[in-house]
Amino acid sequence: MTRSEENYLKAIFHLGNGEAGSISTNAIAEQMDTKPSSVTDMAKKLAEKGLVHYKKYQGISLTDTGTRTALSIIRKHRLWEVFLVKKLDFTWDEVHEVAEQLEHIKSEKLIDKIDALLDFPKYDPHGDPIPTKDGKFMERDKQLLSDMPIHAQGVCVGVKDSSAPFLKFLDKNKIALGNTIKILDKEDFDQSLQILMEGKELRISHQIASNLYVKKND
C-alpha cells in the first residue's frame, strides 16, 4: 500500500458517504485535487490489486477489502486527531493536516497503543465516529441544526464542514461540541436562528446552522 493508494481509497470511501456505490472519475479527481486521467490510472492499479471494482466508463467502487483498508486509515486519522487534541493541546482546527501525515504510519501496535492511551474514544474532535479495529462504524443519531424544528433542544455533537475557518469561527463564538442548544426562533426571511446555547442567547445564520450537527433530546 503506497500513501497515494491509501489516499485514493479514503477519498472514494468519503465520496460514497460510507455506503457502497459507484463514484465518478471526475468526483474523485476533484476531491483529490488531481486530474481525471490520473484517477483512471490509479483505478486500474487499485482494481488490479482487488481494492476497487472498476469497469471503463462505469465508475469506481470499493471492494470489501478496499472498504476495510479505507476504514483502517480513517480509524488512524481520527485516533491521531484525538491524540493531538487530548494529549498535546492542539486545537481542533490544527489537527487535520498533521493527521493526514500520521494516518500513513505503518504499525498496528502503535495505533492500538494510542487507542488504549486515549481510553478507546468513540468520536474524533469534530464529532466523527472512529471505526473499531474490525471496521465497525458507530454513526451517531444526529441531525443538522438547520433541519430541526423550532423549540427543539439538544446537544452539539459534530460539524459537517471541518475546515479551519469554520472551526475558528465556532471557537470565536463559543460554540463547542458538548454544548446544550435550544432553538428559540427561526427567521423565515433568511432562515437564521435565534438559539439558546449554554444559557446564552445567540443568533446564527443558516450557513452555520447547516454545518452543525445536533443530537436531539428525546
* Interface contacts to a copy of itself, rule CB under 8 A: 84, 87-90, 94, 97-98, 101-102, 105-107, 109-110, 113-114, 117
Per-residue CA distances from 202 to 49, 115, 144, 181, 215 (Å)? 52, 37, 17, 10, 19
Q: Which is nearer to DNA, 100 or 161 (CB)?
A: 100
Residues 171-200 that bind DNA (CB under 7 A): none
Cell 444559557 identifies what position? 199
Amino acid type, 56: K
Q: Is 126 in the site for Mn ion (CB under 5 A)?
A: yes
Of these partners, DNA, Mn ion, a copy of itself, none, which one is at the site of residue 14 (CB under 5 to 8 Å by kind)?
Answer: none
Least CB distance to Mn ion at residue 186 (A): 29
Q: At 77, list the grid cell.
A: 486519522
Residues 15-74 that bind DNA (CB under 7 A): 24-27, 34-45, 54, 56-59
Of these partners, a copy of itself, DNA, Mn ion, none, which one is at the site of residue 126 (CB under 5 to 8 Å by kind)?
Answer: Mn ion
Of these partners, a copy of itself, DNA, Mn ion, none, which one is at the site of residue 191 (CB under 5 to 8 Å by kind)?
Answer: none
| Short-list 108, 74, 195, 197, CA closest to 82 | 74
Q: Which is nearer to DNA, 59 or 66 (CB)?
A: 59
Distance between CA atoms of residues 25 and 113, nearest Å: 37
Q: Tell me whether residue 74 is exposed, middle or buried, using C-beta atoms within 10 angstroms of its C-beta: 0 to 12, 13 to 18, 19 or more.
A: buried
**Total chain residues near DNA (CB under 7 A):** 25
Strand segments (E) across 37-141: 52-54, 60-62
